[in-house]
Amino acid sequence: MEFSTKTIHAGQPSEPETGSLIAPIFQTSTYEQEAPGQHRGFDYSRTNNPTRARLEAVLAELEGVQYAAVYGSGLAAENAVLQAYLRPGDEIVIPLDVYGGTYRILNKVFQPLGCVVRQIDLSRPGALEGALSAKTRLVWIESPTNPRLLVYDIARIAAATHDAGALLVVDNTFATPLFQQPFALGADLVVHSVTKYLAGHSDVIQGAVLAKDAAVFEPVKFLQNATGAVPSPFDCWLTLRGLKTLELRMQRHAENAEAIATALNGHPLVRRVYYPGLADHPGHDIARRQMTGFGGMVSFELDGTIDEVVSFVSSRRYFALGESLGGVKALVCHPARMTHASIPAEERAKLGLSDTLVRLSPGCEHQRDLVADLLEGLAAVEQARALTVVHAAV
């Protein structure tokens, strides 16, 4: 079955009782049993729910594995993996460029419990091998990363991780299974903020963990029920609906991202564009090798002041200023003040996360409108500068 066919058919037969083409939302907390303990696979909706089961089935198919569990948010999914695998004294290796919430849960929740977080510059040759030890349980990466869209060689990292006897977790949120299949590259677990491209319409908060090996999956699945961070049947249904257009949406997001990166690259007010599709992007060759598309995100550093960035991001016509990404409606974000504000300023500087970095999540609008909106914004910055010079002269 091809990818787009899977998004529509996998795990989603018409509902058997009525023939309903799209299965209804099983909005129920519990299930009538024939005799104590005798039921049809469903006994309580924290443990299992037919709408959630459909979603888990299609997500597993899309990532090319057997096992998926969905959670009430991406961070709840991350928490399940971390809780399943980290004990006091265990070590986890993460790169410098990691989603702020992942950094926060590790440093504020798991480090105080006695887990050791080793944050390294993964692009430096030998850095990973130097950080791995007999105590390493997990290596955790994103690729492309948030927000600088760095690309890491997943197969190489998987090999080094396995040599050390650890598991590799890949956050595949930015690439989506359409553009990147981490399990084929050696990942042991994949996590998603389903909130983003998978659900795709900025109306759901949800997460997922996937695994190819039953033994690796089992402790994570156990925590779904044991700690109870499950999504509602309605949210699962919304994601099932959103997923059906994943390929179409991703193609559009990717085309828009490419048009924007091309328009911004070389602009006098843009110091640097981060987009894996640009030939001079440091991860371009790896991206070509391990991805089938460069994704839908673009970030850039404005060659200006923080005030200019604030004014630029606050006054766009189509790019709404907001956290999150991956929806049909375009979003713009200022990571230093928003998504990555939980990372202290000096840490952000060490991570190469400039205070004038702007992150764009082009939606499915027409690329001409999106590009024009950004170029108008840059022109407004230039005009404001010219006015300041005139005022100063007067």
Ligand X SMILES: Cc1ncc(COP(=O)(O)O)c(C=O)c1O
Name the residue nearer to ligand X (CB basis): 70 or 270. 70
Q: Which of 381, 382, 339 is nearest to 360 (CA)?
A: 339
Q: Is 70 in the site for ligand X (CB under 6 A)?
A: no
Q: For 216, left (φ over 0), alpha (ψ -120 to 50), or beta? A: alpha
Among 69, 75, 122, 128, binds ligand X (CB under 6 A): 75
Nearest residue (CB) to ligand X, 161 versus 193: 193
Which of 144, 207, 276, 377 touches ligand X (CB under 6 A)? Answer: 207
CB of 54 to ligand X, least distance (A): 20
* C-beta closer to ligand X: residue 73 or 299: 73
Minimum CB separation from ligand X for residue 259, in Å? 23
Rg for the chain (alpha carbons), in Å?
22
Do 237 and 25 form a contact (C-beta atoms < 8 A)? Answer: yes
146 binds ligand X (CB under 6 A): yes
Q: Which residues are catalytic?
A: 46, 99, 171, 196
Near ligand X by CB under 6 A: residue from 7, 119, 161, 195: 195
Question: How many other CB atoms are there within 10 angstroms of residue 318's CB atom?
Answer: 17
Check binding of 193 to ligand X (CB under 6 A): yes
By CB under 6 A, tell whether 73 contacts ligand X: yes
CB of 26 to ligand X, least distance (A): 23
Residue 362 near residue 330 (C-beta atoms within 8 A): yes
CA distance 358 to 335: 7
The nearer residue to ligand X, 157 or 270, going by C-beta atoms, is: 157
**Residue 358, beta-bridge partner list:** 300
Instruction: Report the residue number, 173 or 299, with the smaller CB distance to ligand X.
Output: 173
Out of 56, 171, 235, 247, point to the residue binding ligand X (CB under 6 A). Answer: 171
Q: How far is CA 212 from CA 67, 292, 351, in A?
A: 6, 21, 32
- Is 80 or 211 the residue whose CB approaches ligand X more closely? 80
Least Cβ distance, residue 143 to ligand X (angstroms): 10
User: Which of 304/363 has CB closer to ligand X?
Assistant: 363
Name the minimum Å distance from CB 381 to ligand X: 27
Which H helix or E strand runs over 272?
strand 270-274
For ligand X, give the closer residue by CB, 102 or 181.
Answer: 102
Q: How far apart are CA 32 and CA 17, in angstroms?
A: 16
Return the range that interacts with ligand X (CB under 6 A); candidates 28-36, 67-75, 345-353, 370-378.
67-75
Q: Could you say which of 99, 140, 275, 300 contacts ligand X (CB under 6 A)? A: 99
User: Could you tell me which of 372, 178, 378, 194 has the C-alpha nearest to residue 293?
Assistant: 178
Whole-angstrom distance, CA of residue 180 vs CA of residue 142: 11
Beta carbon of residue 123, minimum distance to ligand X (angstroms, whole number): 18
Q: Tell whether residue 177 is a contact of ligand X (CB under 6 A).
A: no
Q: Is 205 in the site for ligand X (CB under 6 A)?
A: yes
Find where tokens 């969905």 sit.
Answer: 70
The pattern of x and - marking residues 320 through 349 that bind ligand X according to CB under 6 A reads ------------------------------
Assess 176 for contact with ligand X (CB under 6 A): no
Among 101, 186, 219, 322, binds ligand X (CB under 6 A): 101
Size of the site for ligand X (CB under 6 A): 13
**Does the footprint of ligand X cover residue 202 (CB under 6 A)?**
no
Spatial separation of the C-alpha atoms in residues 348 and 328, rounded to whole Å: 29
Helix (H) or strand (E) holding 61: helix 50-63
Residues 6+ apart with CB under 8 A from 197: 173, 174, 176, 246, 249, 250, 253, 296, 325, 326
DSSP category for residue 185: G
Q: Is 276 in the site for ligand X (CB under 6 A)?
A: no
> Helix, strand, coil % (nearest 5) of the chain?
40, 15, 45
Using CB positions, name the residue nearest to ligand X: 74
74 contributes a contact to ligand X by CB under 6 A: yes
CA dist 257 and 263 (Å) reads: 10
Residues found near ligand X in the complex (CB under 6 A)? 73-75, 99, 101, 142, 146, 171, 173, 193, 195, 205, 207
